[in-house]
Structure 1
Amino acid sequence: MSIKGYILGPEGQLHFRRSDNSEPSDNGLLCFHMSPYSSIIYENLLVEAKSLDKDVTAIDTPGFGNSDRPTSPPSIESYAISMISFIDTFKINKINLMGYHTGSKIALEIAKQIPDRINKIILVSAPIFTDVECAEMKNMYLKKDHLLSSDGSHLTHAWNEAKFWSMEGRTDLQIAKTFHARLINPDISWWGHNAAFNYDSSKTLTEINCPILILNPEDDLHEQTKRAKNLLNNPQSKILDLKSWSHGFLDIETEKTAEIIFSFLYES
Structure 2
Amino acid sequence: MTGVRRRYVDTRLGQMHLAECGSGTPVLFLHQTPRSWTEYIRVLPIAGGSVHAMAMDTLGFGQSARTGEFSIERFADGVEALLDALGLSRVALVGHHTGAVIALEVAARDPSRLSALVLSAMPHVTPGRRERVRDLPQVDHVRPAADGAHVTELWRQRRAFYDAGQEDDLTRFVIDALQVVDRLQDGHAAVGAYGMASRLPLVRTRTLLLCGAQDAYSLPDQPALARALGCELQVIDGAGVCLPEQRPDAFAEAVMSFVTQPRV
* Cα deviation, residue 136, structure 1: 4.3
Q: TM-score, normalised by structure 2?
A: 0.88
Query: How has the CA–CA distance of structure 1 residues 226 and 90 changed in structure 2, closer, same or farther, with 3 Å as cutoff?
Result: same
* Cα deviation, residue 83, structure 1: 0.7
Instruction: Answer whether contact 2:61 2:179 (CA < 8 A) is retained.
Output: yes
Query: How has the CA–CA distance of structure 1 residues 18 and 145 changed in structure 2, closer, same or farther, with 3 Å as cutoff?
Result: closer
Instruction: Answer whether contact 1:33 1:41 (CA < 8 A) is retained.
Output: yes
Alignment correspondent of 2:103:
107
Q: Quick one: which amino acid aligns to residue 45 of structure 1?
A: V
TM-superposition CA deviations, 1:92-138 (whole Å, max 9, x none): 12110001111111101111122111111111112224434314435
Work out the CA distance in 2 between the residues paired with 1:16 and 1:206. 30
Secondary structure at 2:42 match in 1? helix
Alignment correspondent of 2:181:
186
Alignment correspondent of 1:196:
191
Work out the CA distance in 2 between the residues paired with 1:135 and 1:53. 42
- Structure 1's consecutive aligned runs of 4 or more residues displaced over 4 angstroms after TM superposition are 138-145
Q: Quick one: which amino acid aligns to residue 235 of structure 2?
A: D
Matches within 5 A, 1:208-227: 208-217=203-212, 218-219=214-215, 220-227=217-224
Number of positions where the alignment pairs a residue of Structure 1 with one of Structure 2? 258
Alignment correspondent of 2:13:
11
Unaligned runs of 5+ in 1: none
Alignment correspondent of 1:122:
118
* Cα deviation, residue 142, structure 1: 5.0
Secondary structure at 2:41 match in 1? helix
Secondary structure at 2:93 match in 1? strand
Matches within 5 A, 1:115-264: 115-140=111-136, 142=138, 146-166=142-162, 168=163, 170-217=165-212, 218-219=214-215, 220-233=217-230, 237-264=231-258
Instruction: Answer whether contact 1:17 1:58 (CA < 8 A) is retained.
Output: yes
Work out the CA distance in 2 between the residues paired with 1:35 and 1:238. 25
* Cα deviation, residue 202, structure 1: 3.4
Alignment correspondent of 1:74:
70
Instruction: Answer whether contact 2:125 2:194 (CA < 8 A) is retained.
Output: no
* Cα deviation, residue 162, structure 1: 1.7
Query: How has the CA–CA distance of structure 1 residues 178 and 185 changed in structure 2, closer, same or farther, with 3 Å as cutoff?
Result: closer
TM-superposition CA deviations, 1:132-179 (whole Å, max 9, x none): 43144355465796242223332222112221122x455223322343
2:27 pairs with 7, 20, 29, which one? 29
Query: How has the CA–CA distance of structure 1 residues 130 and 44 changed in structure 2, closer, same or farther, with 3 Å as cutoff?
Result: same
* Cα deviation, residue 196, structure 1: 1.0
Query: How has the CA–CA distance of structure 1 residues 144 and 135 changed in structure 2, closer, same or farther, with 3 Å as cutoff?
Result: farther
Alpha-carbon RMSD: 2.2
* Cα deviation, residue 66, structure 1: 0.4
Query: How has the CA–CA distance of structure 1 residues 143 and 104 changed in structure 2, closer, same or farther, with 3 Å as cutoff?
Result: closer
Alignment correspondent of 1:42:
40
